[in-house]
Amino acid sequence: MLLRKAGGGGHLGSGVERHEAMARLILFNKPYDVLSQFTDSSIGAARATLSDFIAVPGVYPAGRLDRDSEGLLLLTDDGRLQARTADPGFKLPKTYLVQVEEEPDAACLDRLRQGVELKDGITRPAEVERIDPPELWPRDPPVRFRKSVPDCWIRLTIREGRNRQVRRMTAAVGFPTLRLVRWGIGAWTLDGLAPGTWREAPVG
C-alpha cells in the first residue's frame, strides 16, 4: 500500500544556492525488512522496497540503510546534495539508537569513543552514551531476546559509513546489536515520523 507524505517542507533561506533551492529532500522512516532501493533484482520471493512507500519521480537514496535496520533514510533529486549527505568525506554525523545484548560498562563505551579495530581498519572516534529505553514503535517482527541475558540501549554517533559499521562496532567490544534505529543525519531527525511515512524537508 502506498503511503502519502506525513507533512510538507518549509521555505529555504535566501543564502541557499539556486540548485539547492530547486532540490527536493525527503525524510523517510524506513521500516525493518525494507530494502533501501526502489527495485529488487534478487531471484525468489519479492522483498519490500522503497517503491512500496514512495511515489516521487526523480528522487534516489542519499546513502543506504541495511534491510535489517530501521530509521532515517534521506532521498533527493540533487546530485551535489546526495554527495554532501552520503559521502563519508563530508563527515556528516549519523546518530543511531542501538539496543545491545548485555550491559556495556564505562570501559567498553570508552573503546567505542576512541575507535575500535575492525577488519577494514580502526574506526574514527565516536560519540556514545548509555540511555534509557527510547519511546519507539514496536518492531515488526519483534526483537528476539534471550530471557536470561540483560540488554540496554546506547546512543551512538559516527561520521563515517562502512558496511554494517555500528553492528560490527558493538560486536567488537562484546555486545551484539539486537535492534538498530538511525535517528538522525546531520540536523535531520525522525522526530514525528511513523514507520513507513515520509515528509519533505527544507534544504539548508
- Close Cβ partners of 177 (under 8 Å, ≥ 6 residues apart): 98, 99, 100, 101, 166, 167, 170, 171
Confidence bin at 88 (pLDDT 50/70/90):
confident
CA angle centred on 38, ends 63 and 74, rounded to 5°? 30
Give the three cell numbers for residue 169. 562496532
Answer whether 5-88+187-200 and 93-184 agree in fold.
yes
- Is the domain spanning 93-184 CATH 3.30.70.1560? The answer is yes
The CATH architecture one would assign to domain 5-88+187-200 is 2-Layer Sandwich (3.30)
Average pLDDT of the chain to the nearest whole number: 88
Residue type, 111: R
pLDDT at 89 > cutoff 80? no
> What would the pLDDT profile of 40-52 be if each residue is shown by its tens digit?
988 778 899 999 9
Q: 33, 40, 66, 151: which one is catalytic?
A: 66
Cβ pair 123, 160 in contact under 8 A:
yes
The label of the residue with cell 577488519 reads 119
The pLDDT of residue 87: 79
66 is an active site residue: yes
Domain ranges of the chain: 5-88+187-200, 93-184
